[in-house]
Amino acid sequence: MSATTPKNNGETEAHLRLKRLALISAQRNGYSACVMEVLLPRCRYRADVAAYRPTRPSYSCSGHKIDNGTTAVFECKQCLVDLRRDNGCSATTLRRLEKVHQRREVLERNLRVHHPTLRVHDSLFAEFDAHNFEAINHRGYKQVIRQTHALQNRLFDCTNFETLIRYRCANLFFLVLLEEVFRESEVPIGWGALVESGRALELVRKPAWHDVAREHNLLLLQRIAIAGTRTVNRQIGITFDMVGSSSQK
């Protein structure tokens, strides 16, 4: 079977291999709590790998011990299409969407003048009547509509990398890539890049540090622990009925 052929669960061998390498790399770098497929707090995004590294505790002025720890998120991408789908920039997309919207307004204004029969009399006041612009199959107008839909979909569904940083989901973010997929220019701002090299990962770009509130790091650690417990339960055959309703959801 090809490494890029999906298995029964929809995941390819290449993607699973990258996640395994990410787990190994994280633990080698002191992240003692790691798990695959965990739902991140604050943004409801499921990370391929999330990890927590405890740090030497400091002390507050009142003498209480404080351990913020370090959290990291690893996203594995086995092809450029998958990488680019999540690497949209909302500011750039919004500017392009605004230009397309302006073009649409100009077209609709002209079409109202040259094709008055397009008016749909569905309002008590003529100035509020809608127009069926699709009826004349205008090529330019159809293109503008397609561009609008594409940009709106990109704005709402294709900015995952940017969203994770904006919501401060972790301190560090890493892309885990096949060697043939890596392009320096396509690594999102603020993210590090780990590239498969033999049977290990090579750090080819360092990530930026993002300050995260202590409670948010602890919440991610809690989710890592819960996901890890569920994995162990599945492996040794412990079911929900055995542990009862008091188990974590």
| pLDDT tens profile 155-177 | 555 567 888 888 899 999 999 99
Identify which has the larger pLDDT, 144 or 171: 171
Q: What pLDDT is stored for residue 6 in this prediction? A: 58
* pLDDT over 60 at 243, yes or no: yes
d(CA 85, CA 233): 34
**2-10 mean pLDDT:** 59
What confidence score (pLDDT) does residue 59 get?
55
Higher pLDDT: 91 or 237? It is 237
CA angle 134, 119, 103 (to 5 degrees): 50
What pLDDT score does 125 carry? 45
Tens of pLDDT along 100-124? 788 888 887 887 777 776 655 544 4
Mean pLDDT of 210-227: 92
For residue 80, give the 3-state DSSP assignment: helix
Residue 152 has pLDDT above 70, yes or no: no
At 154 the pLDDT is: 58
| CB-count exposure of residue 207 (10 Å: 0-12, 13-18, 19+) | buried
- E strand or H helix at 155, and its extent? helix 139-157
pLDDT tens, position by position, 65-105:
556 799 999 999 998 877 777 766 666 666 777 887 888 88
- pLDDT value at residue 37: 93
Candidates 98, 200, 194, 109; CA nearest to 151 is: 98
pLDDT at site 150: 64
For residue 134, pLDDT beyond 90: no
Report pLDDT for 138. 78
- pLDDT at residue 51 greater than cutoff 50: yes
Q: Which residue has the tokens 């339960």?
A: 233
Task: Quote the mean pLDDT of the chain.
Answer: 80
Q: Which residues of 124-142 are buried (b: 16+ CB within 10 A; e: fewer)?
A: eeeeeeeeebeeeebeebe
Q: Which two tokens mark 112?
A: 């109202």
Report pLDDT for 140.
Answer: 84
Least confident of 25-29, 37-41, 106-110: 106-110
Instruction: Indicate the pTM of the whole model.
Output: 0.69
